[in-house]
Amino acid sequence: MLLSLSKAVLPLVAIILLGTAGYYLIEGWALIDALYMTVISLTTVGYSETHPLSTSGKIFTMVLILSGIGSVAYIIGNVSMQYIHPFFDFVTKEKKMEKILKSIKDHYIICGYGRIGRDVCLNLIKAGKSVVVVDRQILDRDDFDKYHIPLVVGDASHEEILSKAGIERAKGLVSAVTSEAENVFITMTARELQPNLFIISRFEETATQKKLIRAGANKVINPYQIGSDKISHIILKPTISKILDFAQKRGQFELNIEELALGKNNPLIDKSLRNCGIREKHNIIIIAVEKIDGEIIANPGPDYVLKENDRLVMIANSTELKSVFQSYAKD
């Protein structure tokens, strides 16, 4: 902005210098008188002449005034654009954001854009999911500009803020603020606004865990507990830990873990794992099945019969999993 402003002012400075030099050379005035005459001519304040002007001086003054008016108009235009343009940009972005928030659906609302909230948000974006971030204050907006993340600034425990984030049309909500009390209030408010919403809440104290569940959270996560469990797992079972890490790092290793939901009319429904052919056709391993009531069947046997709304947890390489989804995820 300063560079643009200096470029805009330079023509005026040049005209003042030329005007001063002109009166000095044409009329033979002292430099201070020449400068004074130049300034009052350019600003058209209407003061009387410093000294009587010759014919050449009068012609020079007319040229100076006309040049000065054009230069001042140019400067005002440029300076105005420097200060007004960001305002218009902000208004345009706000209107665009409001339009996105009114139309977005099947998205995930991330409450709190700290270290955990940011990682969750970016992971969901990389997985192709739509997100909306809610936070009291965002100091660094680089992520939001880079990934075009819709942002609602405000307290996520307030109904109007969550409504602005489209909670009525949302698929899930993650409450990842650092305050335990705020997480409870956010969870409670979200559950009241959207009874069927899938809610994940962060906690640190055991007492808060119970409160979050009573408030309506489907899942409660203690990030510090997960971190300590991970460290212990690496020490006690390094090979298993390494394999699980491989499965999580998409695009770097062949092994992936995915889940497949069996919706209505899925061809796998009412077939046993032995007879459905999914293992033989696609070379995948089904390591678990989650039933509609939440029961987990670990390492299901060959005689397990698949039912509607079962969720299969599979392990295979990316090519094999893609083939499975193409065949059975059409509903």
Residues 6+ apart with CB under 8 A from 126: none
Say how many Å lie between the first and final Cα of the chain, rounded: 54
pLDDT per residue rounded down to tens, the chain (331 residues): 556 656 667 777 888 888 889 888 998 888 888 888 888 887 777 667 778 888 888 888 888 888 777 777 777 777 666 666 666 666 667 788 888 899 999 999 999 999 999 999 999 998 899 999 999 988 788 898 899 899 999 999 999 999 999 999 999 999 999 999 999 999 999 999 999 999 999 998 888 999 999 999 999 999 888 888 888 988 888 887 777 776 666 554 567 888 999 988 899 999 999 999 888 889 899 999 999 998 999 999 999 999 999 999 998 888 888 899 888 886 5
Share of the chain above pLDDT 70, in %: 88
Please identify which residue in the block is written with the tokens 């893609």.
322
Instruction: Quick: pLDDT tens for 41-69.
Output: 877 776 677 788 888 888 888 888 887 77
Residues 6+ apart with CB under 8 A from 151: 97, 132, 133, 134, 135, 138, 141, 144
Residues 6+ apart with CB under 8 A from 221: 200, 201, 202, 203
Instruction: Please state which CATH number belongs to domain 105-226.
Output: 3.40.50.720
Instruction: Quick: pLDDT tens for 192-222.
Output: 999 999 999 999 888 899 999 999 999 999 9
User: Class assignment of domain 2-99?
Assistant: mainly alpha
At the second CATH level, the architecture of 237-328 is: 2-Layer Sandwich (3.30)
Taking alpha carbons only, the member of 205, 208, 166, 206 closest to residue 187 is 208
| Domain segments of the chain as ranges | 2-99, 105-226, 237-328
